[in-house]
Amino acid sequence: MSVEIILLVAASALVVGHLVYRNALPKPLPGIPHKKVSAERLMGDIPDMLADVSRRKNINLWWRDHSASFNSPICQVFLGGPFSKPTVLLADYHEARDIETRRTHEFDRSSRTRDVFGPLAPSFQFVLPSGSEWKAHRALVQDVVSRQFLEAVVAPTLYQSVTRLISLWDKKIALSGGRPFTAIDDMFNVTFDAVLSFTFGSEFPHSAMEPQVKLMDEYRAIDRDNCIATEQPIDFPVARLHEELEAMQTLVGFAEGAINAGSQNLYWFFQTRSAKFSAAKKSKDTCIRAAVRRASQKRLEHLKSEVASDRSWIHSSVDYLIDRECKLAEKEGRKVDVFSSRIADELYGMVVAGHDSTSSTMCWAVKYLADNQAVQQRLRDDMRYGYRKALLEGRAPTVTEILSTNMPYTDAFMEEVLRHSTIVPFGARQATQDTIILGRKIPKGTVVLYLKNGPGILSDGYTFDTSIESETSRLDRSRIPGSADIPLEIFSPDRWIKRDAGGNITYNPNAAPVHAFGFGPRSCFGRKLAYLEFRLLLTIIVWNFELGQCATELSGYDGRYKTFLMPWKCYVRPKRVTS
Protein backbone atom coordinates (compact mmCIF):
# COMPACT_ATOMS: atom_id res chain seq x y z
CA MET A 1 0.00 0.00 0.00
CA SER A 2 1.38 3.37 -1.00
CA VAL A 3 2.28 6.08 1.47
CA GLU A 4 -0.32 8.37 -0.13
CA ILE A 5 -3.15 5.89 0.53
CA ILE A 6 -2.03 5.35 4.12
CA LEU A 7 -1.96 9.08 4.72
CA LEU A 8 -5.38 9.47 3.08
CA VAL A 9 -6.90 6.74 5.26
CA ALA A 10 -5.33 8.21 8.37
CA ALA A 11 -6.56 11.69 7.52
CA SER A 12 -10.05 10.37 6.79
CA ALA A 13 -10.05 8.50 10.10
CA LEU A 14 -9.04 11.64 11.93
CA VAL A 15 -11.77 13.65 10.23
CA VAL A 16 -14.43 11.02 10.91
CA GLY A 17 -13.24 10.64 14.49
CA HIS A 18 -13.36 14.37 15.01
CA LEU A 19 -16.88 14.54 13.54
CA VAL A 20 -18.05 11.68 15.77
CA TYR A 21 -16.44 13.35 18.78
CA ARG A 22 -18.12 16.69 18.04
CA ASN A 23 -21.45 14.96 17.52
CA ALA A 24 -21.08 13.09 20.81
CA LEU A 25 -20.60 16.30 22.77
CA PRO A 26 -23.60 17.75 24.66
CA LYS A 27 -25.92 19.90 22.54
CA PRO A 28 -27.08 22.79 24.74
CA LEU A 29 -30.63 24.06 24.26
CA PRO A 30 -30.49 27.67 23.02
CA GLY A 31 -31.17 30.42 25.54
CA ILE A 32 -31.01 28.19 28.62
CA PRO A 33 -28.07 28.75 31.04
CA HIS A 34 -25.51 25.94 31.33
CA LYS A 35 -21.94 25.35 32.40
CA LYS A 36 -19.86 26.05 29.30
CA VAL A 37 -16.98 23.74 30.25
CA SER A 38 -19.47 20.86 30.62
CA ALA A 39 -20.72 21.41 27.07
CA GLU A 40 -17.17 20.86 25.82
CA ARG A 41 -16.55 17.42 27.36
CA LEU A 42 -18.11 14.06 26.49
CA MET A 43 -19.33 13.33 30.02
CA GLY A 44 -20.84 16.78 30.48
CA ASP A 45 -21.71 17.49 34.12
CA ILE A 46 -21.28 13.89 35.25
CA PRO A 47 -17.76 14.29 36.73
CA ASP A 48 -18.86 17.29 38.83
CA MET A 49 -22.03 15.54 39.94
CA LEU A 50 -20.29 12.30 40.95
CA ALA A 51 -17.60 14.19 42.88
CA ASP A 52 -20.25 16.14 44.80
CA VAL A 53 -22.37 13.07 45.53
CA SER A 54 -19.29 11.21 46.74
CA ARG A 55 -18.62 14.05 49.18
CA ARG A 56 -22.14 14.94 50.36
CA LYS A 57 -24.07 11.72 49.62
CA ASN A 58 -27.04 13.68 48.29
CA ILE A 59 -27.53 14.30 44.58
CA ASN A 60 -30.30 16.79 45.30
CA LEU A 61 -27.87 19.21 46.91
CA TRP A 62 -25.84 19.21 43.72
CA TRP A 63 -28.95 19.90 41.60
CA ARG A 64 -30.00 22.71 43.95
CA ASP A 65 -26.58 24.36 44.09
CA HIS A 66 -25.95 23.91 40.37
CA SER A 67 -29.23 25.66 39.62
CA ALA A 68 -28.46 28.45 42.10
CA SER A 69 -25.09 29.13 40.45
CA PHE A 70 -26.92 30.66 37.46
CA ASN A 71 -29.30 32.77 39.58
CA SER A 72 -32.05 31.70 37.21
CA PRO A 73 -35.27 29.71 37.61
CA ILE A 74 -34.24 27.55 34.64
CA CYS A 75 -30.96 25.97 33.54
CA GLN A 76 -29.77 22.77 31.86
CA VAL A 77 -27.41 19.94 32.78
CA PHE A 78 -25.70 17.19 30.79
CA LEU A 79 -25.93 13.92 32.68
CA GLY A 80 -26.60 11.31 30.05
CA GLY A 81 -23.12 10.86 28.64
CA PRO A 82 -22.16 10.98 24.93
CA PHE A 83 -24.91 11.55 22.32
CA SER A 84 -27.52 12.27 25.01
CA LYS A 85 -29.99 15.13 25.37
CA PRO A 86 -29.67 17.79 28.06
CA THR A 87 -31.91 17.77 31.11
CA VAL A 88 -33.68 20.97 32.11
CA LEU A 89 -33.68 22.02 35.79
CA LEU A 90 -36.67 24.15 36.78
CA ALA A 91 -36.55 26.02 40.10
CA ASP A 92 -39.95 27.70 40.13
CA TYR A 93 -42.81 26.26 42.20
CA HIS A 94 -45.64 27.85 40.26
CA GLU A 95 -44.36 26.89 36.83
CA ALA A 96 -43.82 23.30 38.01
CA ARG A 97 -47.31 23.17 39.50
CA ASP A 98 -48.72 24.53 36.25
CA ILE A 99 -46.94 21.80 34.25
CA GLU A 100 -48.33 19.08 36.52
CA THR A 101 -51.92 20.31 36.66
CA ARG A 102 -52.73 22.21 33.47
CA ARG A 103 -50.20 21.15 30.85
CA THR A 104 -50.63 17.38 31.00
CA HIS A 105 -51.05 17.26 27.20
CA GLU A 106 -47.50 18.64 26.90
CA PHE A 107 -45.75 16.65 29.65
CA ASP A 108 -45.92 13.10 31.00
CA ARG A 109 -44.15 10.90 33.56
CA SER A 110 -40.45 11.05 32.71
CA SER A 111 -38.32 8.22 31.43
CA ARG A 112 -35.99 8.85 34.39
CA THR A 113 -38.68 7.53 36.75
CA ARG A 114 -38.87 4.29 34.78
CA ASP A 115 -35.08 4.11 34.55
CA VAL A 116 -34.73 4.30 38.35
CA PHE A 117 -37.68 2.25 39.61
CA GLY A 118 -38.85 0.22 36.60
CA PRO A 119 -36.75 -2.92 37.23
CA LEU A 120 -38.26 -3.27 40.73
CA ALA A 121 -41.89 -3.24 39.63
CA PRO A 122 -42.26 -2.67 35.87
CA SER A 123 -46.05 -2.88 36.03
CA PHE A 124 -46.48 -0.49 38.97
CA GLN A 125 -48.58 2.51 37.92
CA PHE A 126 -45.96 4.95 39.24
CA VAL A 127 -43.50 4.08 36.46
CA LEU A 128 -46.02 3.75 33.62
CA PRO A 129 -46.52 6.52 31.07
CA SER A 130 -50.03 7.96 30.83
CA GLY A 131 -52.18 5.88 28.53
CA SER A 132 -54.51 2.90 28.42
CA GLU A 133 -52.30 0.65 30.56
CA TRP A 134 -51.92 3.29 33.26
CA LYS A 135 -55.68 3.94 33.24
CA ALA A 136 -56.34 0.22 33.62
CA HIS A 137 -54.10 0.14 36.68
CA ARG A 138 -55.89 3.13 38.19
CA ALA A 139 -59.22 1.39 37.58
CA LEU A 140 -57.92 -1.67 39.43
CA VAL A 141 -56.83 0.23 42.55
CA GLN A 142 -59.05 3.32 42.40
CA ASP A 143 -60.87 2.79 45.71
CA VAL A 144 -57.95 1.50 47.80
CA VAL A 145 -57.08 5.03 48.89
CA SER A 146 -60.61 6.41 48.97
CA ARG A 147 -61.53 8.14 52.20
CA GLN A 148 -64.28 5.63 52.92
CA PHE A 149 -61.99 2.60 52.52
CA LEU A 150 -59.15 4.16 54.49
CA GLU A 151 -61.24 5.31 57.44
CA ALA A 152 -63.65 2.38 57.67
CA VAL A 153 -61.38 -0.53 56.75
CA VAL A 154 -57.72 0.46 56.97
CA ALA A 155 -57.50 2.96 59.84
CA PRO A 156 -58.33 0.54 62.72
CA THR A 157 -55.60 -1.86 61.59
CA LEU A 158 -53.13 0.98 61.10
CA TYR A 159 -53.91 2.32 64.57
CA GLN A 160 -53.20 -1.07 66.11
CA SER A 161 -49.87 -1.18 64.28
CA VAL A 162 -48.65 2.27 65.28
CA THR A 163 -49.54 1.84 68.96
CA ARG A 164 -46.80 -0.81 69.18
CA LEU A 165 -44.39 2.11 69.29
CA ILE A 166 -45.65 2.98 72.78
CA SER A 167 -44.62 -0.38 74.18
CA LEU A 168 -41.23 -0.25 72.47
CA TRP A 169 -40.40 3.25 73.67
CA ASP A 170 -41.56 2.47 77.20
CA LYS A 171 -39.00 -0.33 77.27
CA LYS A 172 -36.25 1.86 75.81
CA ILE A 173 -36.98 4.67 78.26
CA ALA A 174 -36.64 2.24 81.16
CA LEU A 175 -33.34 0.97 79.78
CA SER A 176 -31.80 4.21 78.60
CA GLY A 177 -31.62 6.00 81.96
CA GLY A 178 -32.48 9.29 80.29
CA ARG A 179 -29.93 8.92 77.51
CA PRO A 180 -30.97 9.66 73.91
CA PHE A 181 -31.23 6.94 71.29
CA THR A 182 -31.71 6.92 67.54
CA ALA A 183 -35.29 6.81 66.30
CA ILE A 184 -34.50 5.92 62.69
CA ASP A 185 -34.94 2.17 63.12
CA ASP A 186 -38.06 2.63 65.24
CA MET A 187 -39.68 4.90 62.64
CA PHE A 188 -38.63 2.46 59.95
CA ASN A 189 -40.20 -0.51 61.75
CA VAL A 190 -43.43 1.07 62.92
CA THR A 191 -44.21 2.53 59.49
CA PHE A 192 -43.22 -0.75 57.83
CA ASP A 193 -45.76 -2.59 59.97
CA ALA A 194 -48.36 0.06 59.21
CA VAL A 195 -48.00 -0.22 55.44
CA LEU A 196 -47.84 -4.03 55.62
CA SER A 197 -51.16 -4.02 57.48
CA PHE A 198 -52.65 -1.65 54.89
CA THR A 199 -51.42 -3.80 52.02
CA PHE A 200 -51.79 -7.34 53.34
CA GLY A 201 -54.05 -7.08 56.41
CA SER A 202 -53.83 -8.61 59.86
CA GLU A 203 -53.38 -12.08 58.35
CA PHE A 204 -49.88 -11.16 57.19
CA PRO A 205 -47.51 -13.40 59.19
CA HIS A 206 -44.52 -11.05 59.61
CA SER A 207 -43.90 -7.94 61.70
CA ALA A 208 -41.00 -5.50 61.85
CA MET A 209 -41.85 -4.26 65.36
CA GLU A 210 -42.47 -7.49 67.25
CA PRO A 211 -38.89 -8.83 66.96
CA GLN A 212 -37.59 -5.47 68.20
CA VAL A 213 -39.92 -5.46 71.21
CA LYS A 214 -38.88 -9.02 72.01
CA LEU A 215 -35.21 -8.09 71.69
CA MET A 216 -35.69 -5.25 74.18
CA ASP A 217 -37.17 -7.71 76.67
CA GLU A 218 -34.04 -9.86 76.36
CA TYR A 219 -31.81 -6.77 76.53
CA ARG A 220 -33.50 -5.72 79.76
CA ALA A 221 -32.59 -8.98 81.42
CA ILE A 222 -28.93 -8.78 80.37
CA ASP A 223 -28.02 -5.09 80.45
CA ARG A 224 -30.25 -3.35 82.98
CA ASP A 225 -27.27 -2.16 85.07
CA ASN A 226 -25.19 -0.87 82.17
CA CYS A 227 -27.34 2.20 81.43
CA ILE A 228 -25.89 5.31 83.02
CA ALA A 229 -27.61 8.68 82.51
CA THR A 230 -25.26 10.73 80.36
CA GLU A 231 -25.49 12.89 77.27
CA GLN A 232 -24.01 10.08 75.19
CA PRO A 233 -26.58 8.15 73.15
CA ILE A 234 -27.23 4.53 73.92
CA ASP A 235 -26.95 2.14 70.99
CA PHE A 236 -29.73 -0.41 71.26
CA PRO A 237 -29.37 -3.59 69.23
CA VAL A 238 -31.56 -3.88 66.15
CA ALA A 239 -33.51 -7.05 65.50
CA ARG A 240 -33.16 -8.63 62.09
CA LEU A 241 -36.20 -8.62 59.84
CA HIS A 242 -37.80 -11.80 58.56
CA GLU A 243 -36.07 -12.84 55.34
CA GLU A 244 -39.09 -11.91 53.20
CA LEU A 245 -39.27 -8.42 54.69
CA GLU A 246 -35.52 -8.11 54.36
CA ALA A 247 -35.82 -9.05 50.69
CA MET A 248 -38.30 -6.24 50.10
CA GLN A 249 -35.88 -3.74 51.60
CA THR A 250 -32.88 -5.19 49.77
CA LEU A 251 -34.62 -4.44 46.48
CA VAL A 252 -35.31 -0.88 47.63
CA GLY A 253 -31.59 -0.57 48.27
CA PHE A 254 -30.92 -1.33 44.62
CA ALA A 255 -33.22 1.55 43.62
CA GLU A 256 -31.32 3.86 45.96
CA GLY A 257 -28.16 2.97 44.08
CA ALA A 258 -29.84 3.70 40.75
CA ILE A 259 -30.82 7.20 41.88
CA ASN A 260 -27.18 8.22 42.35
CA ALA A 261 -25.80 6.26 39.39
CA GLY A 262 -24.35 8.06 36.40
CA SER A 263 -26.21 5.71 34.04
CA GLN A 264 -29.31 3.93 35.34
CA ASN A 265 -29.46 1.54 32.39
CA LEU A 266 -25.86 0.40 32.86
CA TYR A 267 -26.35 0.15 36.62
CA TRP A 268 -29.43 -2.07 36.29
CA PHE A 269 -27.82 -4.19 33.55
CA PHE A 270 -25.31 -5.50 36.07
CA GLN A 271 -27.41 -5.43 39.26
CA THR A 272 -30.39 -7.39 37.90
CA ARG A 273 -27.96 -10.16 36.94
CA SER A 274 -26.46 -10.41 40.43
CA ALA A 275 -27.21 -13.30 42.78
CA LYS A 276 -28.24 -10.86 45.51
CA PHE A 277 -30.89 -9.23 43.35
CA SER A 278 -32.23 -12.56 42.08
CA ALA A 279 -32.51 -14.02 45.58
CA ALA A 280 -34.26 -10.93 46.96
CA LYS A 281 -36.71 -10.80 44.07
CA LYS A 282 -37.54 -14.50 44.43
CA SER A 283 -38.21 -14.10 48.17
CA LYS A 284 -40.35 -10.99 47.62
CA ASP A 285 -42.36 -12.69 44.87
CA THR A 286 -42.95 -15.72 47.09
CA CYS A 287 -44.22 -13.48 49.88
CA ILE A 288 -46.65 -11.59 47.65
CA ARG A 289 -47.95 -14.75 45.95
CA ALA A 290 -48.71 -16.22 49.37
CA ALA A 291 -50.65 -13.08 50.35
CA VAL A 292 -52.61 -13.20 47.09
CA ARG A 293 -53.36 -16.87 47.65
CA ARG A 294 -54.66 -16.17 51.18
CA ALA A 295 -56.89 -13.35 49.93
CA SER A 296 -58.26 -15.47 47.09
CA GLN A 297 -59.08 -18.32 49.45
CA LYS A 298 -60.72 -15.92 51.88
CA ARG A 299 -62.92 -14.56 49.09
CA LEU A 300 -63.96 -18.04 48.01
CA GLU A 301 -64.90 -19.02 51.57
CA HIS A 302 -66.85 -15.80 51.95
CA LEU A 303 -68.83 -16.37 48.74
CA LYS A 304 -69.86 -19.80 49.95
CA SER A 305 -71.68 -18.33 52.93
CA GLU A 306 -72.56 -14.78 51.88
CA VAL A 307 -73.94 -12.93 48.88
CA ALA A 308 -71.42 -11.73 46.30
CA SER A 309 -72.27 -8.05 46.89
CA ASP A 310 -71.33 -8.27 50.57
CA ARG A 311 -67.77 -6.96 50.91
CA SER A 312 -67.40 -7.28 54.67
CA TRP A 313 -64.52 -9.73 54.16
CA ILE A 314 -62.30 -7.04 52.63
CA HIS A 315 -59.81 -5.74 55.21
CA SER A 316 -56.75 -4.82 53.14
CA SER A 317 -55.49 -3.74 49.75
CA VAL A 318 -54.78 -7.29 48.61
CA ASP A 319 -58.34 -8.30 49.52
CA TYR A 320 -59.67 -5.35 47.56
CA LEU A 321 -57.48 -5.98 44.49
CA ILE A 322 -58.42 -9.66 44.31
CA ASP A 323 -62.11 -8.82 44.55
CA ARG A 324 -61.74 -6.06 41.97
CA GLU A 325 -59.83 -8.33 39.56
CA CYS A 326 -62.52 -11.01 39.77
CA LYS A 327 -65.28 -8.51 39.04
CA LEU A 328 -63.38 -6.83 36.20
CA ALA A 329 -62.61 -10.22 34.62
CA GLU A 330 -66.31 -11.14 34.74
CA LYS A 331 -67.31 -7.79 33.27
CA GLU A 332 -64.70 -8.01 30.48
CA GLY A 333 -65.40 -11.64 29.72
CA ARG A 334 -61.87 -12.90 30.41
CA LYS A 335 -60.15 -15.36 32.71
CA VAL A 336 -59.35 -14.22 36.23
CA ASP A 337 -55.61 -13.71 36.76
CA VAL A 338 -54.92 -12.95 40.40
CA PHE A 339 -51.23 -13.82 40.03
CA SER A 340 -50.60 -11.31 37.26
CA SER A 341 -47.58 -9.02 37.38
CA ARG A 342 -50.02 -6.12 37.40
CA ILE A 343 -51.42 -7.10 40.80
CA ALA A 344 -48.06 -8.19 42.24
CA ASP A 345 -46.32 -4.97 41.20
CA GLU A 346 -49.13 -2.77 42.49
CA LEU A 347 -48.95 -4.50 45.87
CA TYR A 348 -45.17 -4.20 46.12
CA GLY A 349 -45.34 -0.61 44.90
CA MET A 350 -47.78 0.20 47.69
CA VAL A 351 -45.37 -1.21 50.25
CA VAL A 352 -42.32 0.66 48.95
CA ALA A 353 -43.97 4.03 48.33
CA GLY A 354 -46.13 3.92 51.46
CA HIS A 355 -43.31 2.85 53.76
CA ASP A 356 -40.32 4.94 52.75
CA SER A 357 -42.28 8.19 52.48
CA THR A 358 -43.88 7.95 55.92
CA SER A 359 -40.73 6.62 57.59
CA SER A 360 -38.76 9.60 56.28
CA THR A 361 -41.49 12.04 57.25
CA MET A 362 -41.68 10.74 60.82
CA CYS A 363 -37.91 10.96 61.26
CA TRP A 364 -38.03 14.65 60.33
CA ALA A 365 -41.18 15.18 62.43
CA VAL A 366 -39.64 13.96 65.70
CA LYS A 367 -36.60 16.19 65.04
CA TYR A 368 -38.81 19.25 64.57
CA LEU A 369 -40.76 18.36 67.72
CA ALA A 370 -37.60 18.06 69.82
CA ASP A 371 -35.97 21.21 68.46
CA ASN A 372 -39.13 23.33 68.72
CA GLN A 373 -40.32 22.81 72.29
CA ALA A 374 -42.97 25.55 72.16
CA VAL A 375 -44.46 24.01 69.02
CA GLN A 376 -44.47 20.57 70.66
CA GLN A 377 -46.21 21.89 73.77
CA ARG A 378 -48.83 23.79 71.78
CA LEU A 379 -49.49 20.69 69.72
CA ARG A 380 -49.97 18.64 72.89
CA ASP A 381 -52.20 21.31 74.48
CA ASP A 382 -54.37 21.45 71.37
CA MET A 383 -54.68 17.68 71.34
CA ARG A 384 -55.68 17.63 74.98
CA TYR A 385 -58.37 20.16 74.26
CA GLY A 386 -59.56 18.53 71.05
CA TYR A 387 -59.59 15.06 72.61
CA ARG A 388 -60.65 16.26 76.06
CA LYS A 389 -63.00 13.32 76.60
CA ALA A 390 -60.06 10.96 76.22
CA LEU A 391 -58.02 13.13 78.62
CA LEU A 392 -60.77 13.07 81.25
CA GLU A 393 -61.08 9.30 80.93
CA GLY A 394 -57.30 8.82 81.21
CA ARG A 395 -56.83 7.11 77.87
CA ALA A 396 -55.42 7.79 74.42
CA PRO A 397 -57.73 9.11 71.68
CA THR A 398 -59.44 6.38 69.68
CA VAL A 399 -58.95 6.08 65.96
CA THR A 400 -62.49 7.40 65.46
CA GLU A 401 -61.75 10.48 67.59
CA ILE A 402 -58.50 11.16 65.73
CA LEU A 403 -60.18 10.99 62.33
CA SER A 404 -63.35 12.90 63.19
CA THR A 405 -61.98 15.80 65.26
CA ASN A 406 -60.98 19.05 63.56
CA MET A 407 -57.38 19.77 64.64
CA PRO A 408 -56.08 22.81 62.70
CA TYR A 409 -52.72 23.04 64.49
CA THR A 410 -52.06 19.35 63.87
CA ASP A 411 -52.82 19.96 60.20
CA ALA A 412 -50.49 22.97 60.23
CA PHE A 413 -47.63 21.05 61.84
CA MET A 414 -47.96 18.17 59.40
CA GLU A 415 -47.95 20.45 56.38
CA GLU A 416 -44.97 22.43 57.64
CA VAL A 417 -42.97 19.22 58.17
CA LEU A 418 -43.75 18.15 54.60
CA ARG A 419 -42.83 21.59 53.25
CA HIS A 420 -39.64 22.13 55.21
CA SER A 421 -38.19 18.61 55.12
CA THR A 422 -38.64 18.18 51.34
CA ILE A 423 -38.64 14.40 51.57
CA VAL A 424 -39.13 14.40 47.79
CA PRO A 425 -36.60 17.05 46.70
CA PHE A 426 -37.44 16.91 43.00
CA GLY A 427 -40.10 15.93 40.50
CA ALA A 428 -39.75 14.95 36.86
CA ARG A 429 -41.73 15.24 33.66
CA GLN A 430 -40.89 14.66 30.01
CA ALA A 431 -42.05 16.84 27.13
CA THR A 432 -44.37 14.90 24.80
CA GLN A 433 -44.23 17.66 22.20
CA ASP A 434 -42.21 20.75 21.39
CA THR A 435 -43.20 23.33 23.99
CA ILE A 436 -42.06 26.39 25.94
CA ILE A 437 -41.11 26.90 29.60
CA LEU A 438 -40.47 30.44 30.84
CA GLY A 439 -40.01 31.66 27.29
CA ARG A 440 -37.44 28.99 26.36
CA LYS A 441 -38.07 26.36 23.70
CA ILE A 442 -38.17 22.81 25.04
CA PRO A 443 -37.91 20.08 22.37
CA LYS A 444 -40.05 16.95 22.48
CA GLY A 445 -38.46 14.23 24.63
CA THR A 446 -36.64 16.62 26.98
CA VAL A 447 -36.70 15.58 30.65
CA VAL A 448 -37.57 18.43 33.03
CA LEU A 449 -36.54 18.10 36.69
CA TYR A 450 -38.22 20.63 38.96
CA LEU A 451 -36.59 21.28 42.30
CA LYS A 452 -38.54 21.26 45.56
CA ASN A 453 -35.65 22.02 47.91
CA GLY A 454 -34.73 25.56 46.94
CA PRO A 455 -36.09 28.93 45.81
CA GLY A 456 -39.85 29.24 45.86
CA ILE A 457 -40.33 26.65 48.63
CA LEU A 458 -37.49 26.97 51.15
CA SER A 459 -36.58 30.55 50.21
CA ASP A 460 -38.00 33.37 48.12
CA GLY A 461 -38.21 32.53 44.46
CA TYR A 462 -36.05 34.03 41.73
CA THR A 463 -37.05 37.43 40.43
CA PHE A 464 -37.72 37.46 36.70
CA ASP A 465 -40.01 39.00 34.10
CA THR A 466 -43.28 37.13 34.75
CA SER A 467 -44.52 37.98 31.26
CA ILE A 468 -42.53 34.96 30.03
CA GLU A 469 -44.48 32.48 32.17
CA SER A 470 -47.84 30.97 31.25
CA GLU A 471 -50.99 32.85 32.17
CA THR A 472 -52.21 30.03 34.42
CA SER A 473 -48.88 29.99 36.25
CA ARG A 474 -49.15 33.74 36.79
CA LEU A 475 -52.64 33.34 38.29
CA ASP A 476 -51.37 30.56 40.58
CA ARG A 477 -48.58 32.85 41.78
CA SER A 478 -51.13 35.39 43.00
CA ARG A 479 -53.19 32.72 44.78
CA ILE A 480 -50.36 31.20 46.85
CA PRO A 481 -48.43 34.06 48.46
CA GLY A 482 -45.01 32.53 49.17
CA SER A 483 -43.20 33.91 52.21
CA ALA A 484 -45.96 36.32 53.36
CA ASP A 485 -45.18 37.39 56.95
CA ILE A 486 -42.95 34.42 57.88
CA PRO A 487 -39.75 33.77 55.88
CA LEU A 488 -39.83 30.46 54.00
CA GLU A 489 -36.47 29.42 55.47
CA ILE A 490 -38.01 29.20 58.96
CA PHE A 491 -39.86 26.15 60.27
CA SER A 492 -43.16 27.59 61.53
CA PRO A 493 -46.54 25.81 61.59
CA ASP A 494 -48.11 29.21 62.32
CA ARG A 495 -47.83 30.15 58.64
CA TRP A 496 -50.71 27.74 57.95
CA ILE A 497 -52.98 29.16 60.67
CA LYS A 498 -55.64 31.77 59.96
CA ARG A 499 -57.43 33.67 62.75
CA ASP A 500 -60.79 35.34 62.42
CA ALA A 501 -62.02 38.42 64.29
CA GLY A 502 -63.23 36.25 67.16
CA GLY A 503 -59.84 34.61 67.66
CA ASN A 504 -60.94 31.27 66.19
CA ILE A 505 -58.26 29.49 64.17
CA THR A 506 -58.55 27.52 60.95
CA TYR A 507 -56.05 25.71 58.80
CA ASN A 508 -55.29 27.38 55.46
CA PRO A 509 -53.82 24.80 53.01
CA ASN A 510 -52.89 27.53 50.50
CA ALA A 511 -50.85 29.66 52.88
CA ALA A 512 -47.48 28.68 51.42
CA PRO A 513 -45.91 26.62 48.63
CA VAL A 514 -45.58 22.90 49.35
CA HIS A 515 -44.87 20.24 46.76
CA ALA A 516 -44.51 17.02 48.74
CA PHE A 517 -46.98 14.86 46.78
CA GLY A 518 -47.13 16.62 43.44
CA PHE A 519 -50.25 17.83 41.66
CA GLY A 520 -52.56 16.80 38.88
CA PRO A 521 -53.50 13.34 37.58
CA ARG A 522 -49.98 11.93 38.14
CA SER A 523 -49.66 13.18 41.71
CA CYS A 524 -48.89 10.73 44.52
CA PHE A 525 -51.55 8.01 44.50
CA GLY A 526 -51.10 7.29 48.22
CA ARG A 527 -51.37 10.86 49.46
CA LYS A 528 -54.42 10.20 51.66
CA LEU A 529 -52.80 7.11 53.15
CA ALA A 530 -49.64 9.08 53.93
CA TYR A 531 -51.60 11.79 55.75
CA LEU A 532 -53.55 9.13 57.66
CA GLU A 533 -50.40 7.34 58.83
CA PHE A 534 -48.74 10.65 59.70
CA ARG A 535 -51.73 11.83 61.75
CA LEU A 536 -52.06 8.59 63.70
CA LEU A 537 -48.35 8.35 64.50
CA LEU A 538 -48.00 12.02 65.36
CA THR A 539 -50.97 11.86 67.73
CA ILE A 540 -49.72 8.70 69.44
CA ILE A 541 -46.23 10.16 69.96
CA VAL A 542 -47.24 13.63 71.19
CA TRP A 543 -50.05 12.30 73.39
CA ASN A 544 -47.83 9.76 75.16
CA PHE A 545 -44.31 11.22 75.12
CA GLU A 546 -42.43 14.44 75.69
CA LEU A 547 -39.48 14.64 73.33
CA GLY A 548 -36.58 16.44 74.97
CA GLN A 549 -34.06 18.37 72.92
CA CYS A 550 -30.84 16.50 72.15
CA ALA A 551 -27.31 17.86 72.13
CA THR A 552 -26.16 19.78 69.07
CA GLU A 553 -23.89 17.01 67.89
CA LEU A 554 -26.87 14.65 67.79
CA SER A 555 -29.05 17.02 65.86
CA GLY A 556 -28.54 18.84 62.57
CA TYR A 557 -30.61 18.78 59.43
CA ASP A 558 -28.25 17.30 56.85
CA GLY A 559 -29.99 14.62 54.85
CA ARG A 560 -29.15 11.65 52.68
CA TYR A 561 -31.26 10.77 49.69
CA LYS A 562 -32.43 7.19 49.57
CA THR A 563 -35.79 6.77 47.81
CA PHE A 564 -36.83 9.73 49.96
CA LEU A 565 -34.76 12.27 51.89
CA MET A 566 -33.76 10.94 55.32
CA PRO A 567 -31.92 12.81 58.08
CA TRP A 568 -28.41 11.60 58.82
CA LYS A 569 -29.10 11.93 62.54
CA CYS A 570 -32.42 11.38 64.25
CA TYR A 571 -32.04 11.03 68.02
CA VAL A 572 -34.82 11.25 70.57
CA ARG A 573 -34.93 11.61 74.33
CA PRO A 574 -38.53 10.68 75.15
CA LYS A 575 -40.19 10.50 78.53
CA ARG A 576 -43.74 9.60 79.38
CA VAL A 577 -46.30 12.39 79.65
CA THR A 578 -47.49 12.32 83.26
CA SER A 579 -49.95 15.19 83.58
pLDDT digits (tens, 9 = 90+) for 39-89: 999 899 999 998 998 888 788 889 899 999 999 999 999 988 888 899 999
Among 160, 169, 164, 162, which residue's Cα sits nearest to residue 216? 169
Q: What's the pLDDT tens digit per position in 201-211?
A: 988 999 999 99
| Claim to verify: residue 413 and residue 525 sit in the same structural domain | yes
Counted domains in the chain: 2
Ranking 141-155, 167-181, 274-288 by mean pLDDT, the lowest is: 141-155
Q: Which pLDDT tens digit goes with each residue over 237-257?
A: 999 999 999 999 999 999 988
Is 391 found in the same domain as 456? no
Average pLDDT over residues 32-36: 95
Same domain, 206 and 277: yes
| List of long-range contacts for 156-160, beta carbons under 8 Å, 24+ apart | 156/399, 157/197, 157/198, 157/201, 157/202, 157/315, 157/316, 158/194, 158/197, 158/198, 158/399, 158/532, 158/533, 158/536, 159/398, 159/399, 159/402, 159/536, 160/197, 160/202
| pTM recorded for the entire structure | 0.91
pLDDT, tens digit (0-9, with 9 covering 90-100), for 112-129? 888 999 999 999 999 999
Q: Are residues 434 and 558 in the same domain?
A: no
Give 462's pLDDT tier (boundaries 50, 70, 90): confident
In a domain, residue 475? The reply is: yes
Indicate whether 246 and 361 sit together in one domain: yes
Burial 258-284 (b: 16+ CB within 10 A, else e): bbbbeebeebbeebeeeeebeebbebb
Q: Are 101 and 423 in contact (CB under 8 A)?
A: no
CATH number at residue 528: 1.10.630.10
According to the annotation, is 287 in a ligand binding site? Answer: no
Residues 306 and 416 in one domain: yes
Residue 490 lies in a domain: no
176 in a structural domain: yes
The answer as to whether 485 is a domain residue is no
Q: Which amino acid is at 125?
A: Q
Window from 192-196, 397-401, 515-519 with minimum mean pLDDT = 515-519
Could you tell me which residue, 211 or 502, shows the higher pLDDT?
Answer: 211
- Average pLDDT value for the chain: 90
Rounded to the nearest 5 degrees, what angle is found at the Cα of 471, between the Cα atoms of 467 and 472? 140
Distance CA 539, CA 432 (A): 44
Q: What is the mean pLDDT of residues 443-454?
A: 92
466 in the same domain as 388: no
pLDDT at 221 over 60: no
Domain that holds residue 71: 3-120+426-479
* pLDDT bracket for residue 28 (50, 70, 90): very high
Predicted local distance difference test score (pLDDT) of residue 226:
54
Give 326-335 contacts, CB < 8 A, sequence gap 24+.
326/299, 328/139, 328/140
Domain with residue 111: its CATH number is 3.30.43.20
Same domain, 540 and 554: yes
395 and 291 in one domain?
Answer: yes
Domain assignment present for residue 506? The answer is: no
57 inside domain: yes
Determine, yes or no, domain membership for 569: yes
Q: Kindly state whether residue 456 falls inside one of the protein's structural domains.
A: yes
**297 and 213 co-located in one domain:** yes
Q: Reply yes or no on whether the pLDDT at 467 is more than 80.
A: no
pLDDT in tens, 398-422: 999 999 999 999 999 999 999 999 9
Tell me, yes or no, whether 345 and 262 share the same domain.
Answer: yes
Q: How many CB atoms lie within 10 A of CB 3?
A: 7
Whether the predicted pLDDT of 542 surpasses 80: yes
pLDDT digits (tens, 9 = 90+) for 384-400: 999 999 999 999 999 99
Q: Would you place residue 195 in the very low, low, confident or very high pLDDT band (cuts 50, 70, 90)?
A: very high
Q: Among residues 286, 288, 319, 323, which one has the least CA distance to residue 308?
A: 323
Query: Are 455 and 410 found together in one domain?
Result: no
